[in-house]
Amino acid sequence: MKQTKYTIFIIENNVSDRQFLKKILVEMEYDFAIKDFATGKEAMSEMNIRPPDLVLLNLYLPDQDGFFLLESFHQKGLVDLPVLLVSSFDKEDDKKKGFDRGAIDFINKPIVLEDVKARVACQLRFKRMMDDQKWANQKTNEGIKMLYKELENQNKKLLQLDHLKDDFVGSVSHELRTPLAIMRESISQIRDELFGEVPDQQKRYLDKALINMDRLRNIIDNLLDISKIEKGKLEIYKEKVDLNKLVEEIVSDFAVKAKAKGLILEGAVHGTAVYALVDPEKTIQVFNNLIGNALKFTEKGSIEITVQEEEDFIQCKVKDTGKGIAQKDLHKLFDKFQQVGRKHGPGEKGTGLGLAIAKGIIELHGGNIHVESTEGEGTAFFFSFQKYIEESGSCMSFRSALISAIKQFNQLSVIKVDIRNLKDVDAFKGRITKSLFRKSDRVIIEEQHVFILLPDTEKEMCSVVLSRIKGSHDADSLGECIVSFPIDGLTCDELINGLERTIEGENHEKNISGRR
């Protein structure tokens, strides 16, 4: 049975030897295409058209010696072409010179039939093995390319679905915020007896409604935050912040809840200020998430918050004596929707987004976060923030915050308060912050004014916010003015001009009243 067809070149100037070699090859059980040449020039001319699978080459040709031809094969890129040297090998080192130039075997003259058959058959078996391997590699590569292409297509589809999911979550969450804010404010007004007396039993139910609405608002805010972080759209407004003072305020906010669980909550801060260049609201969100987690998973002992100023950064730590986290779960702690250590049944539930959001916020500040934990002993979160350097630090301007809010929200209101006559501006700002319920609300002090940005808030609702802020203060002592987007202006400049016109109008009225 004939085997695969191969092309063999016989390059031999001796006619009888050339014919003998050709006869031997014909008798072998291979389907050969045999071409014979008397000179090297003729062979090279044919080789330019189609290279052979095997060459039988006489070293001593009349026009070109075999060594020259071997070098010519290599120059044409035929480095894998098998060449058998057929010669009497007059010089002792001719075989070595031939092997050095790429020959793989030799046939001595006078030619012996069985010697030729054995050596040719050996080279052709090796050739077949190499061809089969090449074919297999080619098919494997083609299969890998097809699989890679399929994986690439599937990844694209998954990314598209992921983007659709994020867009859907972001859109739905955003659309829920406005009606939820209106409902909460309305219930809050009823609870505060702005429309008449409310019995104590009804107040308890209204309080429950407000608590659950706040939980729903937090879920919506978390979904929006993680969506913005993943899209790179969460905006950070850095300013000079005393982290020691910030931690003291946060510890105070959590004190009642910690005491109810019998836990010691302490902020191990030093008396001196430690200034960081951070977004205050986002930084509070990080501490709230980490301390809230510590309270959730600590049944006894303590929770400690520390702020340590290093040479190039500020190191913060939230450490608890809770149940701890298994080593096998640490790697997925900051993944979305992960609730490591959460037991089924009653108890406080979350979305599993808090730590992912905290990590995203810290990294947007140029810091990093890591965790150390031992099961049964507790957990410690270490995270860093950029130090405030006087030469490069800069406070967030009201204008930049307003521009961002206009891009982000469909409607918002701005309250401008004159603080020139206030003795304790920081205390007043703290009172404003405590009067606001939403994370999206912002308080900015700029020169002699405080600006309060209230996203998703109608202009008429600002009077309720102001009544909570003023408390026992005289209603006329703050000199406040209010504008609303998009009613009073569609751009940042239009809204700022609206605030200025309101102040000028009030001053004009006061001057007229004074003359009267």
**Of 74, 89, 111, the domain-final residue:** 111
| CA-wise closest residue to 124 among 29, 40, 35 | 29
Task: List phi, psi (to 5°) of 8.
Answer: -125, 130
Indicate whether 103 belongs to any domain. Answer: yes
Q: What are phi and psi of 66, to 5 degrees?
A: -65, -30
Q: How far is Cα 183 from Cα 177, in angstroms, rounded to an integer? A: 10
Q: Residue 470, Cβ neighbours under 10 Å: how many?
A: 17
Contact 360, 282 (CB under 8 A): no
Residues 255 and 363 grouped into a single domain: yes
In this predicted model, what pLDDT tens digit does every residue of 369-425 receive, in sequence order? Answer: 999 999 889 999 999 998 887 643 334 467 777 887 887 788 889 988 888 777 777
Same domain for 315 and 406, yes or no, is no
* Residue 260: predicted pLDDT: 92
* The two three-digit tokens of residue 140, written as one number: 């494997």
Alpha helices in 192-342 (DSSP H): 200-231, 243-260, 280-296
- Whether residue 76 lies inside any domain: the answer is yes
* Residue 250 and residue 287 in contact, taking contact as beta carbons nearer than 8 Å: yes
In a domain, 154, yes or no: no
Nearest to 418 by CA among 467, 462, 452: 452
pLDDT tens per residue across span 139-150: 888 888 888 888
Average pLDDT over residues 71-98: 86
Is the pLDDT reported for residue 27 higher than 70? yes
pLDDT, tens digit, 9 for 90 and up, residues 99-137: 888 888 889 888 888 888 888 888 888 888 888 888 888
**Given 360, 386, 412, which residue is the final one in a domain?**
386
Residue with tokens 């913005």: 228
Instruction: Please check the confidence at residue 65 and state whether its pLDDT lies above 70.
Output: yes
Convert 98-123 to b/e letters by CB count within 10 Å (16 or more is b): beebbbbebbeeebeeeebeebbeeb
Residues 270 and 368 in one domain: yes
Q: Are residues 378 and 399 in the same domain?
A: no
Whole-angstrom distance, CA of residue 389 vs CA of residue 184: 41
Q: What is the pTM of this model?
A: 0.50
Answer whether residue 5 shows pLDDT above 90: no
Say whether both 439 and 489 belong to one domain. yes
Same domain, 474 and 341: no
41 has pLDDT over 50: yes
CA R_g for the chain: 42
pLDDT of residue 237: 80
Find, among 468, 478, 488, the residue nearest to 412 by Cα: 488
CA distance 418 to 412: 20
CATH number at residue 49: 3.40.50.2300
Query: How far apart are the C-alpha atoms of 180 and 201, rounded to whole Å?
Result: 23
Q: Could you list the residue range(s) of the whole structural domain that residue 103 is in?
A: 6-111
Distance, in Å, from the CA atom of 461 to the CA atom of 67, rounded to the nearest integer, reads 98
Does the pLDDT value for residue 217 go beyond 70?
A: yes
Query: Looking at the structure, do residues 293 and 419 belong to the same domain, yes or no?
Result: no
Looking at every residue in the chain, the average pLDDT score rounds to 82
Q: Are residues 381 and 397 in the same domain?
A: no
Residues 248 and 382 grouped into a single domain:
yes
Question: Quick one: 12 and 101 in the same domain?
Answer: yes
| Lowest-confidence pick of 17-31, 92-106, 157-171, 360-374 | 157-171
Tell me, what amino acid is at 36?
D
SS (HEC) of 24-62: HHHHCCCCEEEEEECCHHHHHHHHCCCCCCEEEEECCCC
Pull the structure tokens for residue 356: 């992912």
Q: How far apart are CA 381 and CA 360, in angstroms?
A: 14
What's the confidence (pLDDT) of residue 392?
38
Residues 492-515 pLDDT 10s: 888 888 887 655 545 444 444 444
Per-residue model confidence (pLDDT) at position 346: 44
The number of beta carbons lying within 10 Å of the beta carbon of residue 491 is 13
Q: What pLDDT, on the 0 to 100 scale, is given for residue 471? A: 64
CATH number, domain containing residue 450: 3.30.70.270
What length does the chain have? 516
**How do residues 147-161 score in pLDDT, each as one tens digit?**
888 888 888 888 888
Is the same domain home to 368 and 394?
no
In tens, the pLDDT along 293-312 reads: 899 889 999 999 999 888 87
| pLDDT value of position 373 | 92
Torsion of CA 453, 455, 459, 463, to 10 degrees: -60
Count of domains for the chain: 3
331 compared with 320, residue with greater pLDDT: 320
Residue with the bigger pLDDT between 447 and 67: it is: 67
